[in-house]
Structures are given as structure tokens and as C-alpha cells.
């Protein structure tokens, strides 16, 4: 059998769309000698807020720091319990520990892998000090944000949406940040909107919150001032080069999302009726942006090895759930979360990026059909 060469994702394929024009903008930015903050960041913040359908955005250093900034600005701190799904990237829980709060790991829905609102509703009843909830919009699909916001309101919790994987996603017409306290984004290079380095943002409906975030990200500095620091902060600023890259790439985000939707539909067709796998499920009213295309598969590790042998890369987001991570052993309860634990042994993300060809999708489908015979 001919060995293929299909990576999990390919960032260089999109260069043809934008590289020439972006390099001109970057040269102009370099000529300005303004590398941190400034008009480039302000311009991106305005564009990103508008894209999210919100009045306010604050750019920052990365998606992890965006979570820390949102938690701190909302007053979440020592001993507060913060509910989050155990099926997420480490950053979600790491940020909670960074503000001395306590992560409370919740189970996820079997169909979508997203935070289970019913589990959260039960867990919050047992909480001694409920502080906040961080639903994660994993794989490009939003969690049941309306239910989660309602449960949070009934129990006095703040809501921060971790939308690191969900740029432009909607659920019942609502995007990240539209009914919660804040939503955070990562612009890590491989994300749907990716920088050429690390970058992140917080968006919100609340001006006061965003002003506080902007102060905390810049050493607690007085607005417009230099050496007067009103509160303790961090250096979590966005740099001007990344803001320039993001502003430019934002022009293409909808077109790339359209290509992702087309590929997801095609995968759905080529994988139909393969016994041994389940294709991703889109919740009612949900409009995912397909950060990754994640199936569940029987004999997952054998399948991944078989595909690798044929030159097809795959990924697992995430192989060890957060509540099983050694880093959290002394920082929160390690409950048994049956759905999360079952999914961790089955989930597999297939090659996926906007410029992936239809032939490649067919080749992946064919190899999987061969495997399950
Ligand atoms: C769900 C989730 N949350 C948070 C982050 C953290 O973002 P960053 O890598 O920009 O710090 C990521 C990044 O991979 C993520 O996928």
C-alpha cells in the first residue's frame, strides 16, 4: 500500500491566502517601532469585539492568561470553588489554581464531550464556597451555555466561557460572551484564528470588567499613566506584531470556517456506516466551527497506529482527563467521572485544516474502512 503523508493539520497551506499582504503590514508595524500594545492592539480589540458581537475585548498574552485575568477581575480567589469539565486542556484548571481557587471537575455529555449541565447542577449543590463555572467550548462546539448560565445564576456563580477552541461558534444564535460574564480565547497558532506566536483575549458585555482586565494585564497600571500602579497585576499584554497578524487573518476567518464546515460534512459522508466508530454529534441549535474533527472509535489506539503506518496522523484531545492529572492530585477532589473516563479511551481527532483536500478526506475514510474490515 502506498504510504500517504497526511498531517493532523497544516498551517502553511493558508499562507497563499494572506502572507504577501500581511508581510507588508508587518513591515509597516516594524517601521513604527511599537512592539507592545498601542494602536495595533487597540485595532485588533475593536475588530475582535465586533466579530464576537460584543462591545468590549482585551487582547492579552495567551489563552491561559486570559482565563487568569477573567478570574482575577471577577474576584475569584482563595478557596473559591470553580466548576469545569474534566475533558479539557490543562490550562482551564491551571488558571483556576493560579488564582488560588479550587477546581471542581465535572463530567461531560456522552454525545458531545462537553460539560454536562445536569452534572454541574448536582455538584454545585454540594459546594461549600461556589465561585464560578468555566464551561469549555471544546472541538469548536459550544457547551449548553443557556442551561449553565441559568444554574450559575440560581447559585450565585460567575460564568467564564473558555472559547479557546470556538472562534465564531454559536448555540441558539448566541456566541461566546453574549450571556455570560466573560469569554476567553486563545490565538495559539493552530487555533481557528491563530497568531504567529502566543496571544489571547477576553471579551465581555461589561465595560467595567474589561477596564479592570486591561489594568491587571499591564501591572495594575493607572490608565494612561506610567509608574502609578493602582492594583497588583501581571505582565499579560498582547504584542503589536501578534495583533497585526490577527487583525489581518481575521479577514479570512469566515471563509476558513466555511471550508471547515464543508470538510466536516464530507467526513460525515465518507465515515458513514463504518461499524466501530461514531461521528461527532452536533447538539440541537448548535453551529460549531470545527476546530478539530473528533470521532469516538473502538480499538482507538490500534486504529491510530494503523493510520500512522499508512502516513495518516491523528491526535487525542485529551488522553488523560484533568481530574486524573498528577498536577492536581493535591488541589481538588479526584472524583470518578464515568463518561469522561470512557471517552478518554475512545476519542480520536482526524486530520483537519481548511485547505485539506477532498482526496485526503476520502483516503482517511478508506483507510478507516479497511481497518474495521
Ligand atoms: C480549551 C483550551 N483552553 C485554554 C487554552 C490555553 O490557551 P493558550 O495555549 O493560548 O494559553 C487552550 C489552548 O490550547 C485550550 O485548548
Place of cell 474576584: 75
The closest residue, in CA terms, to atom 10 on ligand 1 is 63
Q: Do 41 and 186 have their domain in common? A: yes
Ligand 1 centre to CA of 104 (Å) is 18
Question: How much is the pLDDT for 91?
Answer: 98
In angstroms, the CA 76 to CA 296 distance is: 35
CA 148, 315, 65: angle at the middle one, nearest 5? Answer: 50
Structural element, H or E, at residue 343: helix 338-344
**Domain final residue, candidates 212, 233, 250:** 250
- 334: domain CATH number is 3.90.1150.10
The atom number, within ligand 1, closest to the CA of 317 reads 16
User: How many CB atoms are closer than 10 A to CB 120?
Assistant: 26
Shortest CA distance to 240 belongs to which of 67, 61, 68? 61
Name the one residue in this structure whose C-alpha cell is 456522552: 110
Contacts of 100 (CB under 8 A, 6+ apart): 77, 78, 79
Pairing of strands 130-133, 81-85: parallel
Burial degree of 64 (CB within 10 A; 0-12, 13-18, 19+) = buried
Indicate whether 72 and 147 sit together in one domain.
yes
* Rounded distance from Cα 165 to ligand 1 centre (Å): 8
Residues 140 and 101 in one domain: yes
The last residue of one of the domains, among 216, 250, 284, is: 250
Look up the pTM and report it. 0.98
Do 219 and 268 lie in one domain? The reply is no
Helices (H), 107-252: 117-125, 145-155, 207-217, 240-250
Handedness of CA 13, 14, 18, 22 (dihedral sign): negative
Helix axes 15-32, 240-250, angle to 10 degrees: 140
Domain endpoint, select from 250, 278, 301: 250
Nearest protein CA to atom 7 of ligand 1, as residue: 63
In three-state secondary structure terms, 301 is: helix
Q: Which atom of ligand 1 is nearest to the CA of 62?
A: 10
The domain total for the chain is 2
How many CA within 13 A on the CB side of residue 13?
14
Which three cell numbers mark 353?
485544516
Q: What is the 77 CA–ligand 1 centroid distance (Å)? A: 21
d(CA 175, CA 167) in angstroms, rounded, equals 9
User: Is 119 a member of any domain?
Assistant: yes
Asked if residue 8 is part of any domain, the answer here is: no
119, with CB counted inside 10 A (0-12, 13-18, 19+), is buried
CA distances from 66 to 100, 202, 277 (A): 16, 6, 35
Q: Which residues line ligand 1 (CB under 6 A)?
A: 62-64, 88-89, 91-92, 136, 162, 164-165, 186, 188, 198, 200
CA distance 108 to 110: 6
Domain that holds residue 293: 253-372
- What's the confidence (pLDDT) of residue 6? 98
Q: How far is the CA of 191 from the centre of ligand 1 (A)?
A: 9
CA nearest neighbour of 105 among 344, 333, 316: 333
| Concatenated DSSP letters of 169-184 | -EETTBPTTSSSSEEE
Residues 133 and 270 in one domain: no
Expressed in angstroms and rounded, the spacing between residue 164 Cα and the centre of ligand 1 is 5
- Residue 245 and residue 283 in one domain: no
- Whether 53 is in a domain gets the answer yes
Three-state SS for 282? coil
Distance 291 CA to ligand 1 centre (A): 12
88 C-alpha to ligand 1 centroid (Å):
9
User: Among the residues of 74-175, which ranges form H helices?
Assistant: 90-98, 117-125, 145-155
> Do 170 and 258 sit in the same domain of this protein?
no
Looking from the CA of residue 200, the nearest atom of ligand 1 is 10
How close is the Cα of 282 to the center of ligand 1, in Å? Answer: 22
Residue 322: DSSP 8-state: G
Whole-number pLDDT of residue 330: 83
Q: Which atom of ligand 1 is nearest to the CA of 65?
A: 11
Out of 61, 188, 195, 349, give the residue to mutate to test ligand 1, the one with the largest number of ligand atoms within 8 Å of its CB. Answer: 188
- Phi then psi for residue 338, to 5 deg, are -60, -40
CATH number, domain of 197, equals: 3.40.640.10
Per-residue pLDDT of the chain in tens (373 residues, 90 and over written 9): 679 999 999 999 999 999 999 999 999 999 999 999 899 999 999 999 999 999 999 999 999 999 999 999 999 999 999 999 999 999 999 999 999 999 999 999 999 999 999 999 999 999 999 999 999 999 999 999 999 999 999 999 999 999 999 999 999 999 999 999 999 999 999 999 999 999 999 999 999 999 999 999 999 999 888 999 999 999 999 999 999 999 999 999 999 999 999 999 999 999 999 999 999 999 999 999 999 999 999 999 999 999 999 999 999 999 999 999 999 988 877 899 999 999 999 999 999 999 999 999 999 999 999 999 8
Amino acid at each position: 500500500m502506498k504510504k500517504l503523508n497526511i498531517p493532523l493539520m497544516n498551517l502553511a497551506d493558508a499562507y497563499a491566502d494572506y502572507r504577501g499582504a500581511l508581510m507588508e503590514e508587518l513591515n509597516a508595524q516594524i517601521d513604527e517601532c511599537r512592539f507592545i500594545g498601542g494602536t495595533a492592539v487597540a485595532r485588533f480589540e475593536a475588530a475582535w469585539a465586533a466579530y464576537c458581537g460584543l462591545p468590549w475585548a482585551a487582547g492579552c498574552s495567551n489563552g491561559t492568561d486570559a482565563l487568569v485575568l477573567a478570574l482575577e477581575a471577577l474576584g475569584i480567589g482563595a478557596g473559591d470553588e470553580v466548576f469545569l469539565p474534566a475533558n479539557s486542556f490543562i490550562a482551564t484548571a491551571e488558571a483556576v489554581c493560579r488564582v488560588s481557587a479550587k477546581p471542581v471537575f465535572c463530567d461531560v455529555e456522552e454525545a458531545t464531550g462537553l460539560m454536562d449541565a445536569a452534572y454541574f447542577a448536582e455538584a454545585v449543590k454540594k459546594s461549600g464556597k461556589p465561585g464560578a463555572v468555566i464551561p469549555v467550548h471544546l472541538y469548536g462546539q459550544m457547551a449548553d451555555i443557556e442551561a449553565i448560565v441559568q444554574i450559575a445564576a440560581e447559585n450565585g456563580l460567575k460564568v467564564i466561557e473558555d472559547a479557546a477552541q470556538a472562534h465564531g461558534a454559536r448555540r441558539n444564535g448566541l456566541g461566546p460572551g453574549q450571556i455570560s460574564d466573560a469569554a476567553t480565547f486563545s490565538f495559539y497558532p493552530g487555533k481557528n484564528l491563530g497568531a504567529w506566536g502566543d496571544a489571547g483575549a477576553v471579551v465581555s458585555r461589561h465595560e467595567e470588567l474589561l477596564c479592570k482586565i486591561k489594568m491587571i494585564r499591564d501591572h495594575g497600571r493607572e490608565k494612561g499613566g506610567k509608574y502609578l500602579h493602582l492594583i497588583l497585576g501581571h505582565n499579560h499584554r498582547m504584542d503589536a506584531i501578534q495583533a497585526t497578524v490577527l487583525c489581518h487573518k481575521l479577514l479570512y476567518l469566515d471563509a476558513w470556517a466555511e471550508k471547515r464546515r464543508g470538510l466536516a460534512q464530507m467526513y460525515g459522508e465518507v465515515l458513514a456506516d463504518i461499524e466501530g466508530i461514531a461521528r461527532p454529534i452536533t447538539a440541537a441549535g448548535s453551529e460549531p466551527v470545527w476546530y478539530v474533527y473528533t470521532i469516538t472509535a473502538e480499538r482507538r489506539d490500534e486504529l491510530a497506529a494503523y493510520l500512522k503506518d499508512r502516513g495518516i496522523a491523528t491526535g487525542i484531545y485529551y488522553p488523560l482527563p484533568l481530574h486524573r492529572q498528577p498536577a492536581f492530585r493535591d488541589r481538588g477532589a479526584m472524583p470518578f467521572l464515568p463518561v469522561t473516563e470512557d471517552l478518554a479511551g475512545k476519542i480520536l481527532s482526524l486530520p483537519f485544516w481548511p485547505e485539506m483536500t477532498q482526496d485526503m478526506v476520502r483516503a482517511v475514510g478508506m483507510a478507516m474502512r479497511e481497518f474495521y474490515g
